[in-house]
Structure 1
Amino acid sequence: MRIGLLTEGGYPYVSGDARLWCDRLVRGLDQHEFDIYALSRSRRQEDEGWVTLPPQVSRVRTAPLWTAEDDGIAHGRRARRRFAEHYGELAAVLCASPSEEAATAEADRFGSALYGLAELARDEGGLSGALRSETAVRALERACRTPGAPRAARAARVPDLLAVAGHLERALRPLTLDWYEDDGLGSVDLCHATSGGPAALPGLLARHFSGVPLLVTEYGVQLRTHHLSATEASPSVRALLAAFHGRLAAEVYARAAVITPGNAHARRWQERCGADRDKIRTVYPGMDATRFAEVGESPECADPDTLAWVGRVEPTKDLISLLHAFAEVRKEEPKTRLRIIGVPAGSEGAAYLGHCKALAAQLFPDEADGLHAVGDNPVSFEEIGGPDIPSPAEAYASGAVTVLSSVVEGFPISLVESMFCGRATVSTDVGAVVEVIGGTGLVVPPRNPRALAEACVALLRDPERRARLGAAARARALELFTVEQNITAFHGIYLEIVSRHPVRRVVLDDTTGEPRPFAVPAEAHMPGRWTGPAARVVARGGPGWAAGPPVRANTPLPATEAAR
């Protein structure tokens, strides 16, 4: 089958989010053909280029979310009236007073306004200028001043309205793309959005215009990410944008054929936003276990009195609590060492690392000199790639117990890697940690150094228990979190969706104009010219014909497309 893979700030870019997961998925499903539709986040991301793509990727089409290009389209009076009507309806929904009784009606209004704008963009050629126009700002202002609007919306001032309008223009930019014709997303059998938000919006439009079913995968819930990143905006801006992203998430979940969260934590967010439980299939991220096979099969460690922490150094990892906990551990087990192995995440991470080193010097004043060395100092700060830690597997092998001290965590990748290595773990109860561990490690409350220390001491004093937990952790990780299980799960989901939601296409004969029966066999999407040149393919989905004129089979790709 032919899959339209939808990404935002991700694959196929070298620095893209979930790049490894997408690449492994595409390479693992080489029996299918993939078209990639990617939204980029920055010029730097585009300049860094793409990863090497496998032969089953037949085309790549990209569009920027980081810059607004003036489409130069001057709308006529009728088009301006249509835009004002649909955008005004969208703004009114964002300012509607939330109530459970009106939830369904408001969702219908949001969807109607969204697809109305998409149809206008398709008819007129673009909405880039209109979405940044005074008409848009005035529509937001009228909605905020409507009786019954939330207090935060009523308090919005002109700078707030301009900020909201700019954000909505970026979020709605996929409406203006030329991806939805029969030689684009209208020709695929299935759209697979690798995240919610802007990445899923092209999938919504492909479903609306051509009846293409939509699969949405979220390993980090886009709505939650927005809430966490919008803390610096004014209350009015936060309220309006939260309403928009909440409505968009609800529309995506309502229209998706299947939703695949990466863990129960993400699943709860989706259900809270209105996702139907019957549509949800939890699919854990697939990770490469071969890199850790040697350590996992020989779980002996160099020093049974060593605790290891591995990951990116940043404030959410709460290394401060870990250092205070280690001070308590040293009182009970004076021989214990702590190896903190990782690189700082940006400038904030570098500053945090400096703070952690200063705290370590304060907590262990007699052993503060040369904290970077592994010698007699109880705490060492190291990086993977050095002479002592050449690989991630060696990092986990360096300790008898792996510790995770985070206060915020999505899917804990470092924890799974430690499980592949057969290590016993002590973790804080955040994100999907309990779901991942499943009884094969110790879990304590976050920001509780004493509980963290007691759990570490318990495992350090009991090598047999460490061995049992490590073996159980490795077996669980190999069963649930490998690349192979991830690929197998998505292969089955693809077949399930296409069997339940087939895209109906009709091929018209150029001579008679009559439909040609059996003209689109399964092998029509295989590479090569399987269909004859004298046929016109018309996508048909749902109850009606797809918008736009019929096109010839094997139509050449547009100039804006990079073919593979």
Structure 2
Amino acid sequence: MRIGLVTEGGYPYAAGETGLWCDRLVRGLPRHEFELYALSRSAGQEARGLLPLPGHVIRVRTAAPWAPGDDGRTYSRRERRRFTAGFEDLVRGICADGPEAAASFAAGLYELAALAREQGGMYAALRSETAVRTVEAGCRAPGAGRSVATARVPDLLEFVDALERMLRPLSLDWYEDPGLGAVDVCHAAAGGLAALPGLLAKRFFGVPLLVTEYGVALRTHYLEHGGDDRPALRALLAAFHGRLAGEIYAAADLLTPGNAHARRWQERCGAPRERLRTVYPGMEADRFAAVGEDPDRGDPDTLVWIGRVEPAKDLIGLLHAFAEVRRAAPDTRLRIFATAAVPGYLADCRSLAAQLFPDEAADARTVGENPVSFEEIGGPETPAPADAYGAGRIVLLSSVIEGFPLTLAEAMFCGRATVSTDVGAVREVIGGTGLVVPPRNPRALADACLALLRDPERAQRLGAAGRARALELFTVEQNAAAFEDGYQLLLARGSARPDGEVPFERPAEARVPGHWTTPTWAPPVTPAPDPEAAA
């Protein structure tokens, strides 16, 4: 079958968030053809180029929604009236709180998409004074939410600017044949704007839509904009993303959240339970096989933390917990491996570590050494993540906010015991093969670490159980098999085409060049003359 894979800011770009699992999925299903449709996020990402692609990727289409897309088209009077009517429906769905808001949002979205598909010109229309006045009228209309009613002119201008950028996928040339309208299944690798092209392909061409969310796009938006000090603008943006998520969940033929945590978000936003199927991310177990099968389980006195150094990971609390561990077990070390870092937060963590743990030396002639080290993966001592996990016997996760904890799953592949905070999908991932403590509780985190340091046999049993669980649930093979089952389910179920076309009316053999019904060596068959016609 032919699968259209839609991504945003990820695969097939060399620098992308969803690059790994999408690349593993495509390479794990060589029997199927893939068409890639990628929305980039920056000029730097495009400059780094694309990953090497396998031969069964038959088409790659990219677009830069961050760049202005003015096609120079302006609307006639009739087209302006059509745009205004559709945009008013969209804005009404964003600003209103009533039960009809979702239907109004969907009607406006699809009307604007149809206009962009037929006439173009969406860039100029969405940046016009008419668009700003329409949003202002929607915010002041009866039934509008209390937060959006306080929007001022700067809020309106910034929202209209953001709305134009978010609706740029409506104007893409991806949908006509050959394009998303001709694939058998459209697979959106994320929700939000990444799923918008798939939503339009389903609306206008009846293509079955599968949406995967390993991190819920709506939740990500809330976390990124929660500190905005302009409540009206924040409410408008949140309402748009909420309505878009609701329409995607209502229209998708199959939703594949990456864990129960994401599934609960989707159900809360109106996703039908019968269309939900959890598919865990797939990881390459071979990368961690050497460490996981090594009988030497690492330094028994070393704790390991791996991840992005940022406030959500609560390294400040981790350092305070380690101070409690050091009081009971003075020989313990903490090695922090940063895959990326927020510079200011990393500096704060280094400063706190220097205050809590002054450099120590065995005697008067030995150079002092801090028991906490900040390191990077890729150096001579730790060339790969598996080497970082193998540096200690216990792996820690101290986050206060987390989706699917990839570092925990990798630690389980390495056969390491884990101590983690109870956030996101942590309990679902470890499944009883590690210790879980409340977040923002350094004392509980320290007690759990000490319990495993004092009982190495228990730590070894937990590590072995975690590795067995990871090999059962989180491999590339199970991930690819689950998605292939989803593709076949959607293809077998079919989808109602807007033009009345019957699914499977055009057989797959029709794509094969040549006369597939007649052998190439057979002479052409000449029909016999009709005697009645001759008479």
Tell me the TM-score normalised to structure 1 length: 0.87
Aligned to 2:507: 521
- Where in structure 1 do 4 or more consecutive aligned residues deviate above 3 Å? 373-377, 502-507, 515-519
**Given the alignment of the two structures, is residue 499 of structure 1 paired with residue 492 of structure 2, yes or no?**
yes
Q: CA RMSD in A?
A: 2.3
Residue number among 295, 303, 309 corresponding to 1:307 in the alignment? 303
Which residue, out of 118, 121, 125, partners 2:116?
A: 121
Corresponding residue of 1:359: 352
- Partner amino acid for 1:435? E
- Separation in structure 2 between the aligned mates of residue 139 and residue 81 of structure 1, nearest angstrom: 12
Q: Identify the residue that residue 202 of structure 1 maps to in structure 2.
A: 197
* CA drift at 1:259: 0.2
Pick one of 459, 470, 474 that aligns with 1:481: 474
Contact 1:189–1:503 (CA<8 Å) still a contact in 2? no
The answer on whether the counterparts of 2:90 and 2:108 sit within 8 Å (CA) in structure 1 is yes
The Cα of 1:477 is off from its aligned counterpart by 0.4
Does residue 236 (structure 1) correspond to residue 232 (structure 2)? The answer is yes
Tell me, in whole angstroms, the C-alpha distance in 1 between the residues paired with 2:313 and 2:504: 58
Q: Match of 2:188?
A: 193
1:7 aligns with 2:7: yes
Between 1:149-158 and 1:215-224, the stretch displaced more is: 149-158
Which residue matches 1:396? 389
After TM superposition, give the deviation of residue 483 of structure 1 in Å.
0.6
Instruction: Flag the structure with more relative contact order, 1 or 2, with Cα contacts below 8 A and sequence separation at least 6.
Output: 1
Indicate the percent of aligned positions where both proteins have the same amino acid: 65
What pairs with 1:412-561 in structure 2 (closer than 5 Å)? 412-502=405-495, 520-525=506-511, 529=513
Assess if the C-alpha contact under 8 Å between 2:185 and 2:207 holds in 1.
yes
Deviation at 1:386, TM superposition (A): 2.5
CA shift for structure 1 position 126: 3.6
Instruction: String of CA shifts for 1:495-534, please: whole Å, max 9, x gaps.
Output: 0011112476999xxxxxxx99987222445xx53689xx
Q: 1:294 aligns with which of 278, 281, 290?
A: 290
Q: Is the 8 A contact 1:186 1:206 kept in 2?
A: yes
Asked if the contact 1:506–1:516 (Cα under 8 Å) also holds between the matched residues in 2, the reply is no
Which residue pairs with 1:333 in the alignment? 329
Contact persistence 2:495–2:503 (CA under 8 A):
no
Distance 1:448 1:374, change over 3 A: farther
More off after superposition, 327-336 vs 487-496? 327-336
Q: Which amino acid aligns with 1:304?
A: P
* 1:164-200 Cα deviation digits (max 9, x unpaired): 1111111111111122213211111111000111111
Q: Equivalences for 1:69-108 in 2 at 5 Å?
A: 69-98=69-98, 102=99, 105-108=100-103
Aligned position for 1:151: 146
After superposition, the C-alpha distances for 1:229-287 in whole angstroms (9 at most, x for unaligned) are 12335111111111111111000000000000011111111111100111000001101
For residues 341-400 of structure 1, the C-alpha deviation after alignment (integer angstroms, 9 at most, x for no partner) is 22442xxx222222212111111225299xxx9985322222222332222111111111
Q: What residue identity is the alignment partner of 1:95?
A: C
Query: Which residue identity lines up with residue 291 of structure 1 in the other structure?
Result: R
Q: Which amino acid aligns with 2:30?
A: D
TM-score (norm 2): 0.92
CA contact (8 A) 1:89 1:109 kept: yes
In the comparison of the two structures, how many residue pairs are matched? Answer: 512
CA contact (8 A) 1:300 1:397 kept: no
Residue in 2 that maps onto 1:543: none
CA deviation after TM superposition for structure 1 residue 302, in Å: 3.9
Query: Which position in structure 2 is the counterpart of 1:537?
Result: none
Tell me which amino acid in the other structure corresponds to 1:30: P
AA aligned to 1:351 is: G
- Could you tell me how far apart the structure 2 residues matched to 1:432 and 1:374 are? 43
2-structure distance, mates of 1:516, 1:436: 42
Work out the CA distance in 1 between the residues paired with 2:203 and 2:470: 39
Unaligned runs of 5+ in 2: 517-535
Matched, 1:67 2:63: no
Q: Which amino acid aligns with 2:66?
A: W
Aligned to 1:51: 51
Match of 2:279 among 276, 283, 286: 283
1:381 aligned counterpart, secondary structure: strand
Secondary structure of 1:250 counterpart: helix
For 1:130-189, what per-residue CA distance to the aligned partner results, in whole angstroms no more than 9, with x for missing partners?
111111111101111112322221111111111111111111111111222132111111
What amino acid maps onto 1:22 in structure 2?
Answer: C
- SS of alignment partner, residue 418 of structure 1: helix
CA shift, 1:415, in A, is 0.8
Out of 115, 132, 137, which is 2:132 matched to? Answer: 137
**Corresponding residue SS for 2:212:** strand
Q: Please identify, of 373-382 and 27-36, the stretch whose mean Cα deviation from structure 2 is larger.
A: 373-382
Q: CA deviation at 1:69?
A: 2.1
Residues 404 and 424 in structure 2, CA contact (< 8 A), matched pair in contact too: yes
Three-state SS of the structure 1 residue aligned to 2:309 is coil
Amino acid at match of 1:141: E
